[in-house]
């Protein structure tokens, strides 16, 4: 998955200013779920209480995304009403220059057990910024096989 997390900075407490990934198009793959995980590396000064919140967002029709999300890796700021349109996967506590692995988390459970046609990840930092490198975001499609 593509997402620019290098030096992602602190969000104000009343908003969610973060970064969205490019969306994953499941319209032809037809996966029944996807496992998402990766690693985040805290920047200088990260420590006790600094947290990164990881969310999933999706499209009901493969074109429209609620809350101002789009299809590309981009900076986005959500206010409280828009936060109700996304689902939190995890909160990851970060430390200075330490890579912290997270996941895997199944995506479909956050959308009532059904993987959206198109979906993505949104990441918000509360505390010290992320490091300028050392981040990873991956997904593995889960498919049914057999007859």
Q: What is the pLDDT of residues 14-37, one digit of tens each?
A: 678 899 999 999 999 899 999 999
Rounded to whole angstroms, the Cα distance separating 40 from 8 reads 11
Q: In 14-147, which ranges are continuous DSSP H helix?
A: 80-83
User: Which strand (E) or helix (H) includes residue 142?
Assistant: strand 136-142
CA 141, chain centre distance (Å): 16
Q: Residue 97 CB: number of other CB atoms within 10 A?
A: 13
pTM of the model: 0.92
Give me the residue spans of the domains in the chain. 16-137
Q: Please report which residue ranges of the chain form alpha helices under DSSP H.
A: 80-83
Per-residue pLDDT tens over the stretch 46-67: 887 899 999 999 998 888 888 8
pLDDT of residue 14: 64
């Amino acid at each position: 998955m593509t997402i620019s997390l290098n030096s992602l900075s602190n969000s104000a407490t009343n908003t969610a200013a973060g970064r969205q990934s490019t969306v994953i198009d499941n319209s032809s793959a037809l996966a029944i779920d996807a496992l998402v995980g990766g690693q985040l590396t805290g920047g200088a000064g990260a420590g006790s209480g600094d947290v990164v919140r990881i969310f999933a967002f999706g499209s009901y029709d493969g074109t429209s995304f609620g809350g101002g999300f789009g299809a590309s890796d981009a900076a986005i700021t959500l206010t409280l009403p828009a936060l109700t349109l996304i689902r939190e996967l995890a909160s990851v506590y970060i430390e200075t220059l330490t890579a912290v692995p997270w996941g895997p988390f199944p995506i479909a459970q956050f959308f009532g057990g059904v993987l959206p046609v198109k979906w993505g990840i949104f990441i918000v930092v509360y505390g010290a910024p992320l490091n300028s490198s050392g981040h990873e975001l991956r997904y593995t499609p889960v498919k049914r096989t057999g007859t």
